[in-house]
A and B are shown apart, each in its own frame.
Chain A
């Protein structure tokens, strides 16, 4: 069955809330939790996709932003929980359990980190870029493990999910709706960015940096801005992920996490707006189904991944859709 890519995207995208609603009808809250998890991981990869898919920046360190978003949530909520203000040296900040404020902090902190890391990392290219981003990820990982103030390797538990005005976030379907709303909004935003003059310039810089310079634009600045937006979105996903689990830990900074984001993108289809969404859903589904098959289920996961990389180069969307994904 071959469908136009746009139709396919709409069908695949709506599958997620459909699953959640069916699960609600069948009283299977865990399926809703899984759908929420998929949506959050998709959001993180959608963020990375701006840098990787459109900008061609293979970052193996996006877990930094995911983790920073997570710790922004964890630290703010833990201070709210214990009613102690957060002492930042120059001023103190009250903890909070309000999601909008936490999101704002998560986005700001990860954007700032992306700016600093980008300023340094974007001086390199190719494998060196992959490796320097990995290095930043490892720095954060080891730092959080050995930094005792917020739990070190044990991480930080937030016993009650944070609040969002007008919603009961403890109800799985309401939290899912919130996450899905954020994902839809970010996808809309990313779609606009891809079609904007910035998106055109960024995509052109991936294909030919000299061309972009020759019309008077700086590829470095384009990439830096893309990296910052990308990091901010992944940071937002990190805050949501921490809220889903009501828990943050250094594993959010691990290089395997960064690797998984890339896997989502490639699994779904690189350079496609909905690629990360499809990839993340498929990954969560595979993980859920295969882990019951045997103790050695990771072998099957590896095999699926290998087959997709070797033989399905447009990812799942590429295999299902006719025509190629052109951003026109």
Chain B
């Protein structure tokens, strides 16, 4: 493998990590502030993608579609929070897991009922459809570069929001002590609804952005949900920084493992078993990574007990 190809694969790994970060950021934010495990986060991702596909089909505008994904996912988030989620804050993790698992069933099949059983069409805007040539001569899809930029912008925005703004102070106070923040006169339930909607909007945006280069279909949220959980657990639940680092680690491990393992094994055995065994091990690799991180740091890289 040439160095140039290796660099391109590293770029691919980073890009996969950024896509995961978009999803994981909302998940970790919701957990950090409200202590809630939300399995239905993947459904919000799916809702964002479907809303984008529907609006893009109706208007032909990708920007409108992105906007629609934010609005639809945030609106769905508000409805879900008001109807179900707010009853779960005081419950243990087990009840949260089950209730949000039930939400997955309802939202997935509801979406299928509305949009049918066939995948929808959503494509990248024409202006971003081709590759651009990076320094060193790597041809890289323009749209993926845009995803990297959007992801980094979202990360920066979140750090600013949490670190520099009044709402961020309230969020951090809420993480530390619910009663304290309520005593300070902040409307805690409105704050929670807002944080949930923000997390949902991020998931929806991720769904729309990623949906344009993947398949917009029912059930698309579940694999990425599991990955997002792997990410935030590696990073330490509740930490935005952890989510970013975890996402990049997972993206790199997954991408480079799939490419390098079969090559590495090729030296030890014949080509076809190296491919097959290498691929088998590569598909387990991120879970191995997560288990190893937790064994040495039981609360993740940046987590607190």
A–B proximity contact (CB within 8 A): yes
Interface residues of A (CB under 8 A from B): 52, 58, 60, 120-121, 123-128, 130-132, 134-136, 138-139, 142-143, 145-148, 255, 259, 262-263, 266, 270, 296-299, 301-303, 305-306, 309-310, 313
Residues of B within 8 A of A138 (CB): 226, 284, 287
How close is A209's CB to chain B, nearest CB, in angstroms?
13
Residue contact A127 to B233, C-beta cutoff 8 Å:
yes
Q: When chains A and B are docked, how far (Å) is the Cα of A149 from the Cα of B84? A: 46
Q: When chains A and B are docked, how far (Å) is the Cα of A153 from the Cα of B96? A: 31
* 29 residue pairs bridging A and B, Cβ less than 8 Å apart: A120-B295, A123-B295, A127-B93, A127-B237, A128-B294, A130-B97, A131-B233, A131-B294, A135-B230, A136-B287, A138-B226, A138-B287, A139-B287, A139-B291, A142-B287, A143-B283, A145-B283, A255-B226, A262-B94, A262-B97, A270-B94, A298-B106, A302-B102, A302-B103, A302-B105, A305-B98, A305-B105, A306-B99, A309-B95
Decide yes or no: A142 and B280 within 8 Å by CB, A298-B109, A305-B105 being known contacts: yes
Residues of A within 8 A of B102 (CB): 302-303, 305-306, 309
Residue contact A309 to B294, C-beta cutoff 8 Å:
no
Interface residues of B (CB under 8 A from A): 31, 37, 84, 87-88, 93-95, 97-99, 101-106, 108-110, 112-113, 226, 229-230, 233, 237, 276, 279-280, 283-284, 287-288, 290-291, 294-295, 298-300, 303
Residue contact A309 to B106, C-beta cutoff 8 Å:
no
- Name A135's contact: one of B106, B112, B287 (CB within 8 Å): B287
Which B residue's beta carbon lies closest to that of A132? B294
How close is A139's CB to chain B, nearest CB, in angstroms?
5
Residue contact A299 to B106, C-beta cutoff 8 Å:
yes
Residues of A within 8 A of B88 (CB): 310
Residue contact A128 to B300, C-beta cutoff 8 Å:
yes
Q: When chains A and B are docked, how far (Å) is the Cα of A306 from the Cα of B103? A: 7
Q: When chains A and B are docked, how far (Å) is the Cα of A311 from the Cα of B206? A: 33
Residues of A within 8 A of B230 (CB): 131, 135
Residue contact B93 to A135, C-beta cutoff 8 Å:
no
Residues of A within 8 A of B303 (CB): 128
Residue contact B97 to A128, C-beta cutoff 8 Å:
no
Residue contact A142 to B97, C-beta cutoff 8 Å:
no
Q: When chains A and B are docked, how far (Å) is the Cα of A82 from the Cα of B305? A: 53
Most buried by A among B88, B226, B279: B226
Which B residue's beta carbon lies closest to that of A305? B102
Which A residue's beta carbon lies closest to that of B112? A296
Main secondary structure on chain B at its contact with chain A? Answer: helix
Count A/B pairs, Cβ under 8 Å: 125
Residue contact B94 to A266, C-beta cutoff 8 Å:
yes
Decide yes or no: A296 and B109 within 8 Å by CB, A131-B230, A134-B229, A266-B98 being known contacts: yes
Residues of A within 8 A of B295 (CB): 120, 123
Which A residue's beta carbon lies closest to that of B296? A123
Q: When chains A and B are docked, how far (Å) is the Cα of A154 from the Cα of B105? A: 26
Q: When chains A and B are docked, how far (Å) is the Cα of A52 from the Cα of B92? A: 13
Which B residue's beta carbon lies closest to that of A148? B276
Residue contact A310 to B99, C-beta cutoff 8 Å:
yes
Which B residue's beta carbon lies closest to that of A140? B284
Residue contact A302 to B298, C-beta cutoff 8 Å:
no
Q: When chains A and B are docked, how far (Å) is the Cα of A60 from the Cα of B113? A: 29
Residues of B within 8 A of A146 (CB): 276, 279-280, 283
- Name B84's contact: one of A60, A120, A145, A310 (CB within 8 Å): A310
Q: When chains A and B are docked, how far (Å) is the Cα of A148 from the Cα of B112? A: 34
Residue contact A143 to B97, C-beta cutoff 8 Å:
no
Most buried by B among A255, A297, A305: A305
Residue contact A299 to B276, C-beta cutoff 8 Å:
no
Given pairs A138-B287, A298-B108, 10 additional interface contacts (CB within 8 A) = A135-B290, A138-B226, A139-B287, A262-B94, A298-B105, A302-B104, A302-B109, A305-B98, A305-B99, A310-B87
- Name A131's contact: one of B279, B280, B290 (CB within 8 Å): B290
Residues of B within 8 A of A132 (CB): 233, 290-291, 294
Q: When chains A and B are docked, how far (Å) is the Cα of A259 from the Cα of B87? A: 21
How close is A148's CB to chain B, nearest CB, in angstroms?
7
Residue contact A123 to B294, C-beta cutoff 8 Å:
yes
Q: When chains A and B are docked, how far (Å) is the Cα of A297 from the Cα of B97? A: 21
Which B residue's beta carbon lies closest to that of A133? B291
Residues of A within 8 A of B95 (CB): 266, 309, 313
Residue contact A128 to B298, C-beta cutoff 8 Å:
yes
Q: When chains A and B are docked, how far (Å) is the Cα of A297 from the Cα of B113? A: 11
Residue contact A58 to B288, C-beta cutoff 8 Å:
no
Residues of A within 8 A of B229 (CB): 131, 134
Q: When chains A and B are docked, how far (Å) is the Cα of A234 from the Cα of B193? A: 40
Residue contact B105 to A309, C-beta cutoff 8 Å:
no
Q: When chains A and B are docked, how far (Å) is the Cα of A296 from the Cα of B37? A: 26
Residue contact A58 to B98, C-beta cutoff 8 Å:
no
Residue contact B298 to A127, C-beta cutoff 8 Å:
no
Residue contact A309 to B99, C-beta cutoff 8 Å:
yes
How close is A203's CB to chain B, nearest CB, in angstroms?
16
Which A residue's beta carbon lies closest to that of B295? A120
- Name A142's contact: one of B31, B284, B294, B299 (CB within 8 Å): B284
Residue contact A143 to B284, C-beta cutoff 8 Å:
yes
